[in-house]
Amino acid sequence: MMKKRLLVVGILLLTLVMAFPAYAQDFTIAMVVKGAGNPFFEACRRGGEEAAAELGFNFIFQAPATPTSEGQIELIDALIAQQVDAILVSANDPDALVPVLRRAMDRGITVVAFDSGVAPAGRHLFLNQADMELIGRMQVQMIAEMIDYEGEIAILSATSTMANQNVWISWMLQELTKPEYEKMELVGIVYGDDLREKSYNEALGLFRSRPNLRGIISPTTVGLAATARAIEDQGLSGKVALTGLGLPSEMAEYIRNGTSEAIALWNPIDLGYVSSYMAHAMLTGAIKGEAGEIVNVGRMGEREIVADGSGGLEVLLGAPFVFDINNIDEWADVY
Amino acid sequence: MARTAEKRRFAFSNLSSKRETSLVIFILVLILGVTLRSPRFFSLANFHDILLDSAIVAIASIGQMMVVMTGGIDLSVGSGLALSGMLVGLVYKGGLGLNPFLALLLGGLIGLVLGSINSVLVVKGKIPPIIATLGTMSIYRGLIFLASKGQWVSAHEMPSYFIRLARGTVLGIPNLIFIAGLLYIIFYYFLSHTKTGREVYAVGGNLQAAMVAGINTDKINYIVYSATGFLYGLCGVLWVSRFASAQPDTATGFEFSTVTAIVLGGVSVSGGTGRVTGVLLGAVLSSMIENALNVTQTNPFWKLAIQGIVILIAVAMDQIVRRRKKTKVVREQ
pLDDT in tens, chain A (335 residues): 566 776 666 666 555 555 544 444 589 999 999 988 787 898 899 999 999 999 999 999 999 988 889 999 999 999 999 999 999 999 999 899 999 999 999 999 999 999 988 999 999 999 988 788 889 999 999 999 999 999 999 999 999 888 889 999 999 999 999 999 999 999 999 999 999 999 999 999 999 999 999 999 999 999 999 999 999 999 999 999 999 999 999 999 999 999 999 999 988 899 999 999 999 999 999 999 899 999 999 998 999 999 988 889 999 988 788 999 999 998 887 78
User: Touching check for A66 and chain B: CB below 8 Å?
Assistant: yes
pLDDT confidence of residue A114? 94
Which chain B residues touch A191 with a CB distance below 8 Å?
A: 300
- Asked if the model's pLDDT at residue B245 lies above 60, the reply is yes
What CA–CA distance (Å, rounded) separates A172 from A151? Answer: 16
Q: Report whether B50 contacts B284 (CB < 8 A).
A: yes
Question: Which chain A residues in 135-194 lie under 8 Å from chain B, judged by CB atoms?
Answer: 160, 188-191
Pairing type for strands A151-157 and A213-218 reads parallel
What are the Cα distances from residue B263, in Å, to A115, A211, B169, B181, B269? Answer: 41, 35, 30, 20, 7
- If phi over 0 gives left and psi between -120 and 50 gives alpha, with beta otherwise, what is residue A37? left
What are the Cα distances from residue A237, in Å, to A45, A191, A214, B5, B141? Answer: 35, 22, 11, 60, 35
Q: How far is A260 from chain B (nearest CA, A)?
A: 14
pLDDT confidence of residue A23? 47
Helix (H) or strand (E) holding B174: strand B173-174
Q: Return the sign of the alpha-carbon dihedral for residues B34, B35, B38, B41.
A: positive
User: Touching check for A258 and chain B: CB below 8 Å?
Assistant: no
Greatest Cα pair distance, chain B, in angstroms, is 70
Q: What is the 3-state secondary structure (H, E, C) of chain A?
A: CHHHHHHHHHHHHHHHHHHHHHHHHCCEEEEECCCCCCHHHHHHHHHHHHHHHHHCCEEEEECCCCCCHHHHHHHHHHHHHCCCCEEEECCCCCCCCHHHHHHHHHCCCEEEEECCCCCHHHCCEEEECCCHHHHHHHHHHHHHHHCCCCEEEEEEECCCCCHHHHHHHHHHHHHHCCHHHCCEEEEEEEECCCCHHHHHHHHHHHHHHCCCEEEEEECCHHHHHHHHHHHHHCCCCCCCEEEEECCHHHHHHHHHCCCCCEEEECCHHHHHHHHHHHHHHHHHCCCCCCCCCEEECHHHCEEECEECCCCCEEEECCCCEEEECCCHHHHCCCC
Q: Report whether A316 contacts A135 (CB < 8 A).
A: no
Judge: B144–A195 Cβ closer than 8 Å, yes or no.
no
User: Closest by alpha carbon to B271, among B67, B66, B69?
Assistant: B69
As a whole number, the mean pLDDT across chain B is 90
- Phi then psi for residue B111, to 5 deg, are -60, -40
User: Touching check for A15 and chain B: CB below 8 Å?
Assistant: no
- Phi then psi for residue A119, to 5 deg, are -55, 150
Which chain B residues touch A189 with a CB distance below 8 Å?
A: 300
pLDDT confidence of residue B330? 58
pLDDT confidence of residue A13? 58
User: Touching check for B54 and chain A: CB below 8 Å?
Assistant: no
Which chain A residues touch B258 with a CB distance below 8 Å?
A: none
User: Touching check for A330 and chain B: CB below 8 Å?
Assistant: no
What CA–CA distance (Å, rounded) separates B182 from B238? Answer: 15
- If phi over 0 gives left and psi between -120 and 50 gives alpha, with beta otherwise, what is residue A309? left
User: Touching check for A206 and chain B: CB below 8 Å?
Assistant: yes
Which chain A residues touch B295 with a CB distance below 8 Å?
A: 205, 208-209
Mutate to test the interface with A, among B139, B152, B245, B289 (most CBs of A within 10 A): B152
Residues across chain A? 335
Mutate to test the interface with B, among A33, A198, A204 (most CBs of B within 10 A): A204
| For residues B137-148, average pLDDT | 95
Question: pLDDT-derived band of residue B2, with 50, 70 and 90 as boundaries?
Answer: very low
Q: At B140, which amino acid appears?
A: Y
Q: How far is A67 from chain B (nearest CA, A)?
A: 10
- Asked if the model's pLDDT at residue B329 lies above 70, the reply is no
pLDDT confidence of residue B307? 87
Angle between helices B195-205 and B217-243 (to 10 degrees): 100
3-class secondary-structure state, position B196: helix
- Asked if the model's pLDDT at residue B238 lies above 60, the reply is yes
Which chain B residues touch A253 with a CB distance below 8 Å?
A: 154-156, 244
- Asked if the model's pLDDT at residue B254 lies above 80, the reply is yes
Q: What is the pLDDT of residues B55-108, one digit of tens each?
A: 999 999 999 999 999 999 999 999 999 999 999 999 999 998 899 999 999 999
| For residues B133-162, average pLDDT | 94
Question: pLDDT-derived band of residue B300, with 50, 70 and 90 as boundaries?
Answer: confident
- Look at B230 and A159; give whichever has higher pLDDT: B230
Percentage of chain B surpassing pLDDT 70?
A: 92
Question: pLDDT-derived band of residue B317, with 50, 70 and 90 as boundaries?
Answer: confident
Q: What is the pLDDT of residues B165-208, one digit of tens each?
A: 999 999 999 999 999 999 999 999 999 999 999 999 999 888 88
Q: How far is B266 from chain A (nearest CA, A)?
A: 25
User: Touching check for B39 and chain A: CB below 8 Å?
Assistant: no
pLDDT confidence of residue B1? 43
